[in-house]
Structure 1
Amino acid sequence: MTKRGKAPWGPVAGIVAVILAIVVLGVLLLSGKSIDILQPAGVIASQQKDLLIFTVVLTMFAVVPVFILLFMAAWKFREGNPKKTKYSPDDEGNRTLELIWWGIPLTIITILGIVTWVTTHQLDPFRELDNGKEPVRVQVISLDWKWLFIYPDQGIASVNELYIPVNRPINFTLTADSPMSAMWIPKLGSQIYVMKGMSTKLSLMSSETGVFKGSNTNITGKGYSDMYFKVHSVNESSWQDWIKKAEKAEPLNYKQYQELAKPSRNIGIKLFALEDKELFDKVVMKYVSSSGMDHNTDSNYEARKGSH
């Protein structure tokens, strides 16, 4: 067989590969059982899922025609095509085609720009959610390699376990006493980065009960892969029962915190009765530059606090 008579396996293989990739992706998206962002259990996560689906569908109006034209061109101009095909590389001036391949992308970009602007403000992590119910304040400290959750209003704390009442806003204030981390609970919503010496905010709310997974999505050393925590979204009675259980646990003050903050892996879940209500502020302040002071001492926090 001559070179011209060879079968066009290259384009065919490419088409088959793309089709298989689309099928596999479709199966994953339709099943959704292992993709938390497609099975939201919170108000913010639900809005983010809708935005994701809208964006994918809208971009398909540009992506699908491109691949269709790609495969058509590969098939039409293949080496073994027995039909004579006119090749016009210098063809120009077709206003209809120019309007299509410039108009569609520009329209898509304009729509996406408007939607992104609106949703960026709607889903601002600093924007506190309000559904008429009293919010729960949670202070979060990222450690090596664990998470500490402090409930200042309830006077309790927990390690690697976050309990929240369903359908109540959760207002997080976060910092780090370790390398920069990022907390993410896919079923509830936004990821947020945390750093030493500063605090940031995040507001989430669960819309159903269940146990969800939270993690650190920023590599922070050898224990990074173990830095997971459980999120229990429970009804009000279970929430109160958990608070009572934590109130009976061992006390947590700054001295005990310093031991807890030492690098460790897989320490499991721990509960504490919060003895030091200003613990979170002390962790933030110990990285604030202050001449002549040892940032790791409890007494210096009081000195810096009094100077402000």
Structure 2
Amino acid sequence: MHDAWSWVSGVLAPQGPIAASELKILFNATAIMLTVVVPVIVLTLAFAWWFRAGNKSARRLPDWSYSGRIELVVWSIPTLIVVFLGGIAWLGSHDLDPYREIQSKTSPLVVQVVSLDWKWLFIYPEKNLATVNELVVPANTPVNFQLTSASVMNSFFVPQLGSQIYTMPGMTTRLSLKADKRGIFPGFSAQFSGSGFSDMRFDVVVKASDEFEAWVNASHQANSVLDQASFTNLSQQSSNVAPARFAAVEPGLFNSIVVGSAHAAHAQAMQSGHMPDMGE
């Protein structure tokens, strides 16, 4: 129950422009639907009260069957609601396209995300470092995510920053987010992926730009390097993994993960006798 409330409270407390826009869509859609829900509840109670057994003024018209005016009202209201909700969904799906980069005077930070069993790997290709179960980003800076999975399909979600998006083996999805201020915001997997699913959590630590650069410099003092061998060890199933850092990353590792998981999925399909077609 606590986790569910944390998720809801996070959505209702946006800390970035994407999450704020999504909250606005949620409120607008709720307000439009309440224009029907509230009158229906009020009229239901009013009809029950008016046509009670003790009201001698209520008339019973057993032969009445049709009214063009009533039909017009009954069908026009839901039609308008569908049009309004459809318009909100149409505009929102284009304005908040996860592949659309956030416009800013500040150059974006690129972060490559790999979902594993059951932990998250974050690679900073421009900074030549990587972290596990901890995502550190600068405030007021767009972050362009490139996401994939080295195991099964998963879902990357930071409620207070917005836009849940899937990670899939052999594929790369993209997402752009931005945090408006410093703080620590929870992130987690929103897709069941096995016994360790509930422990697939991480903190998004938003720092000032100078603090972020100091963190990058401090991370480079670590002794561990993320190469193919260390990634193979990291990709073994484990849960409740403590945050960790890698001072350097093997060039092209993210692309090799994408290609390697694609080959693994293809081999598994061959063994099972099911070859996915282009529609899957």
TM class, shorter-chain normalised? 0.7 to 0.9
Offset of residue 72 of structure 1: 2.5
Alignment match of 2:189 (pick from 209, 216, 221): 216
Offset of residue 144 of structure 1: 0.6
Cα deviation 1:222-255 (Å, max 9, x = unaligned): 1111111000111011101110121112111110
CA contact (8 A) 1:142 1:178 kept: yes
The within-5 A match list for 1:150-169 is 150-169=123-142
Match of 1:12 in 2: none
- 1:270 matched to 2:244? The reply is yes
Structure 2 distance, partners of 1:149, 1:267, is: 14
Give the paired residue count: 261
SS at match of 2:26: helix
SS at match of 1:218: coil
Query: Could you tell which deviates more after superposition, 151-160 or 247-256?
Result: 247-256
SS at match of 1:225: helix
Cα deviation 1:67-108 (Å, max 9, x = unaligned): 222222334445xx3224434466333233222221121112
Point out where structure 1 has 5 or more consecutive residues left out of the alignment. 1-28, 295-308
CA contact (8 A) 1:211 1:231 kept: yes
- Taking every aligned residue pair, what percent have the same amino acid on both sides? 37
Structure 2 distance, partners of 1:90, 1:262, is: 74
CA contact (8 A) 1:137 1:152 kept: yes
Question: Pairwise CA RMSD of aligned residues?
Answer: 2.3
Match of 1:92 in 2: 65
SS at match of 1:188: coil
Q: Which amino acid aligns with 1:272?
A: F
- 1:144 matched to 2:117? The reply is yes
Structure 2 distance, partners of 1:164, 1:87, is: 69
Match of 1:4 in 2: none
CA contact (8 A) 1:33 1:39 kept: no
SS at match of 1:68: helix
Structure 2 distance, partners of 1:77, 1:99, is: 24
SS at match of 1:271: strand
TM-score (norm 2): 0.87
The within-5 A match list for 1:1-308 is 35-77=9-51, 81-84=53-56, 85-88=58-61, 91-249=64-222, 250-289=224-263
Q: Which amino acid aligns with 1:145?
A: W
- Structure number with larger C-alpha Rg: 1
Task: From the superposition, tell whether residues 238 and 82 of structure 1 become closer, same or farther in structure 2 (CA, over 3 Å).
Answer: same
Structure 1 distance, partners of 2:138, 2:92, is: 26
Structure 1 distance, partners of 2:162, 2:211, is: 23
Task: From the superposition, tell whether residues 142 and 204 of structure 1 become closer, same or farther in structure 2 (CA, over 3 Å).
Answer: same
Task: From the superposition, tell whether residues 276 and 74 of structure 1 become closer, same or farther in structure 2 (CA, over 3 Å).
Answer: same
Bigger RCO (CA 8 Å, 6+ sep): 2
Offset of residue 208 of structure 1: 1.4
Structure 1 distance, partners of 2:38, 2:98, is: 34
Point out where structure 2 has 5 or more consecutive residues left out of the alignment. 269-280
Offset of residue 177 of structure 1: 1.1
CA contact (8 A) 2:170 2:263 kept: no
CA contact (8 A) 2:7 2:159 kept: no
Query: Could you tell which deviates more after superposition, 267-276 or 158-167?
Result: 267-276
TM-score (norm 1): 0.80
Structure 1 distance, partners of 2:201, 2:20, is: 22
Task: From the superposition, tell whether residues 179 and 74 of structure 1 become closer, same or farther in structure 2 (CA, over 3 Å).
Answer: farther
SS at match of 1:286: helix
